[in-house]
């Protein structure tokens, strides 16, 4: 087992080095460095692929588990070790499923498609992008065939983001969400709107930075093992549980955007810091899924960060940075930061509308991969769904089908993770409320460690030991459902909008 773990650790070290370069690329690298950096990253990725599919790993793995049948060979393994070798086998099978020439073709086409997407979005011209997307879809369908699936091709792609998730399962979960969410949105839209003019003033960005860092530390981000920098799009990269990088964006006209980015990315980073160090390098030292990762960021950003209790603690601190807010009270502030407005753009969306954006994308991309949608019909399909879910129609493709980068890097199957994060997060939080005495009272006093430690124990330390749906069941005793999330939204927004 030690030999197997050592090989895995070597692969991880390469990945960690590549992550530093990615982080640098998004933060400090001079613009001219882009081309060579791409070459270096491609080379590291090739080395990693060679190690991850090499005979040495396969030989060591075969001492514990039969590569072809999946039957355990080593009968002395603990439960953890069993899961470990099963995951290594699963990952290896995926790595070798794609022929080398396919990987190369995909990698080249991804670069070309991303370039085409940037241009098309700028020029609001889907037709120039269509041939690139068409070829990408063909490649992704081919990829699904290489991986194999039981029911639908889209399932094979989903599994890369949410292990074990299927088209059918996501459709059932989103189905439970749709009706209640659309109804809530209608009620909010017909209610008296909230005046949030206070937020439209200018807020010094140095103070935004200082306040954000204060909050990140308060909720439990260990700054001995983390740092924050500025980037165009906020992100988190974990190099190791002892070295996690987050970024934020600062704009003096958008106080909330920078602040909530910092809280969101801190939630991701607290997860990365909480992963089991002794399993670093093995699959058990990794996050359970993209959706579980997103559950941690959204829980801190929305459920905690946009709560009245949180601002009972944080508003006086914010006023120290911005005396101009001295007359704002917690009740009004709470309503202002939770304003609900329909937006065409996913990344600008509030927590009520957000899941609708994702459901729309799931409908469209699962139809594309599982069915036979003509590429030229995709914008119309998008706009039709926009009308159905939001009651509005994008004025052009830039604020419609061209707004997200995901399809251009081949990320079909990625979108559902964002909404799954909301569902996982709400169900996890419901349990935390049951198990942590006076949780909300503690939050209102700025005592976040009971929740952070609880999440460490219930979610983070398990790494990838459980598939996401199993993890939720272990934590809450119940299968995953949309109900806790909808209950949370309905209770919160009925109060805020006095419905
Ligand atoms: Zn996130």
Residue 42 in this model has a pLDDT that exceeds 90: no
The reported pLDDT for the residue numbered 176 is 85
Local confidence band at 177 (pLDDT 50, 70, 90 cut-offs)? very high
277-318 pLDDT, tens digit each: 999 999 999 999 999 999 999 999 999 999 999 999 999 999
Across 88-102, average pLDDT: 92
Across 359-382, average pLDDT: 96
Using alpha carbons, list the distances in angstroms from residue 68 to 12, 60, 168, 180, 369: 25, 14, 28, 46, 28
Residue 31 in this model has a pLDDT that exceeds 90: no
Across 42-54, average pLDDT: 90
Distance 100 CA to ligand 1 centre (A): 31
Q: Given 60, 265, 301, 430, which residue is catalytic?
A: 265
The reported pLDDT for the residue numbered 467 is 97
Distance 358 CA to ligand 1 centre (A): 14
> Domains plus CATH for the chain?
2-153 (no CATH), 167-496 (1.10.1370.30)
pLDDT above 70: percentage of residues in the chain: 100
Tell the residue number behind the tokens 């993209």, with chain if given.
290
The reported pLDDT for the residue numbered 354 is 95
318-364 pLDDT, tens digit each: 999 999 999 999 999 999 999 999 888 998 899 999 999 999 999 99
Distance 235 CA to ligand 1 centre (A): 7
Distance 296 CA to ligand 1 centre (A): 8
The reported pLDDT for the residue numbered 384 is 95
Distance 348 CA to ligand 1 centre (A): 13
236-262 pLDDT, tens digit each: 999 999 999 999 999 999 999 999 999
Q: Among 282, 266, 258, 279, which Cα is nearest to 225's?
A: 266
Which of the pair, 358 or 389, is modelled with greater confidence?
Answer: 358
Residue 88, Cβ density class (10 Å: 0-12 exposed, 13-18 middle, ≥19 buried):
buried
The reported pLDDT for the residue numbered 54 is 92
Distance 51 CA to ligand 1 centre (A): 29
Q: How far apart are CA 243 and CA 225, in angstroms?
A: 5
Residue 233 in this model has a pLDDT that exceeds 90: no
C-alpha torsion 66→68→69→71, nearest 10 = 10
The reported pLDDT for the residue numbered 313 is 98
Q: Are 64 and 1 in contact (CB under 8 A)?
A: yes
Q: How far apart are CA 372 and CA 352, in angstroms?
A: 31
Local confidence band at 391 (pLDDT 50, 70, 90 cut-offs)? confident
81 flagged as catalytic: no
The reported pLDDT for the residue numbered 237 is 97
Distance 415 CA to ligand 1 centre (A): 12
The reported pLDDT for the residue numbered 107 is 85
The reported pLDDT for the residue numbered 125 is 94
The reported pLDDT for the residue numbered 343 is 87
The reported pLDDT for the residue numbered 464 is 98
Full-model pTM = 0.95
The reported pLDDT for the residue numbered 111 is 85
Across 410-425, average pLDDT: 97
The reported pLDDT for the residue numbered 152 is 97
Mean per-residue pLDDT of the chain: 95
Output the DSSP codes for 5-39.
Answer: HHHHHHHHHHHHHHHHHHHHHHHT--GGGHHHHHH
Local confidence band at 38 (pLDDT 50, 70, 90 cut-offs)? confident
Residue 35 in this model has a pLDDT that exceeds 90: no
The reported pLDDT for the residue numbered 445 is 98
Q: Are 346 and 354 in contact (CB under 8 A)?
A: yes
Q: For residue 246, which phi and psi values (nearest 5 degrees)?
A: -125, 160
Across 231-235, average pLDDT: 90
101-156 pLDDT, tens digit each: 898 889 889 988 998 999 999 999 999 999 999 999 999 999 999 999 999 999 99
The reported pLDDT for the residue numbered 34 is 85
């Amino acid at each position: 087992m030690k030999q197997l773990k050592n090989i895995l650790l070597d692969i991880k070290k390469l990945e960690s080095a590549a992550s530093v370069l990615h982080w640098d690329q998004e933060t400090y690298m001079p613009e001219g460095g882009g081309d060579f950096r791409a070459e270096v990253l491609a080379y590291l990725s090739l080395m990693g692929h060679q190690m991850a599919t090499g005979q040495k790993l396969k030989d060591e793995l075969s001492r514990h588990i039969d590569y072809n049948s999946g039957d355990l060979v080593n009968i002395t393994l603990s439960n953890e070790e069993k899961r470990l070798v099963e995951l290594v086998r699963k990952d290896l099978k995926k790595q070798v499923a794609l022929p080398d020439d396919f990987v190369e073709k995909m990698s080249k086409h991804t670069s070309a498609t991303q370039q085409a997407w940037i241009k098309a979005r700028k020029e609001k011209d889907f037709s120039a992008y269509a041939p690139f997307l068409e070829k990408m879809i063909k490649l992704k369908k081919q990829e699904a065939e290489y991986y194999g699936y039981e029911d639908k091709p889209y399932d094979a792609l989903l599994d890369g983001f949410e292990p074990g998730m299927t088209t059918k399962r996501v459709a059932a979960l989103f189905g439970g969400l749709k009706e209640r969410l659309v109804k809530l949105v209608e009620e909010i839209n017909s209610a008296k709107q909230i005046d949030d003019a206070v937020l439209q003033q200018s807020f010094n960005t140095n103070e935004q930075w200082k306040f954000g860092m204060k909050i990140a530390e308060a909720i439990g981000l260990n700054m001995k093992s983390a740092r924050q920098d500025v980037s165009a799009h906020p992100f988190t990269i974990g190099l190791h549980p002892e070295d996690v990088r987050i970024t934020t964006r600062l704009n003096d006209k958008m106080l909330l955007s920078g602040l909530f980015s910092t809280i969101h990315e801190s939630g991701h980073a607290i997860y990365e810091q909480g992963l089991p160090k002794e399993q670093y390098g093995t699959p058990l030292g990794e996050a359970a899924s993209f959706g579980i990762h997103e559950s941690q960021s959204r829980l801190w950003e929305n459920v905690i960060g946009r709560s009245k209790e949180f601002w009972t603690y944080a508003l006086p601190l914010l006023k120290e940075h911005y005396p101009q807010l001295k007359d704002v009270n917690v009740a009004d502030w709470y309503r202002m930061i939770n304003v609900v407005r329909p937006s065409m753009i996913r990344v600008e969306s509030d927590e009520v509308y957000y899941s609708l954006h994702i459901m729309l994308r799931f409908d469209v991309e699962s139809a594309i991969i599982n069915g036979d949608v003509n590429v030229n019909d995709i914008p119309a399909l998008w706009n039709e769904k926009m009308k159905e879910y939001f009651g509005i129609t994008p004025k052009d493709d830039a604020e419609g089908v061209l707004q997200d980068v995901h399809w251009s890097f081949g990320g079909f199957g990625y979108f559902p993770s964002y909404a799954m994060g909301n569902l996982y997060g709400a169900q996890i939080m419901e349990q935390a409320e049951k198990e942590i005495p006076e949780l909300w009272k503690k939050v209102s006093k700025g005592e976040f460690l009971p929740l952070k430690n609880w999440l460490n124990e219930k979610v983070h330390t398990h790494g990838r030991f459980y598939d996401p749906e199993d993890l939720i069941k272990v934590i809450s005793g119940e299968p995953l459902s949309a109900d806790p999330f909808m209950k949370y939204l309905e209770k919160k927004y009925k109060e805020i909008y006095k419905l």
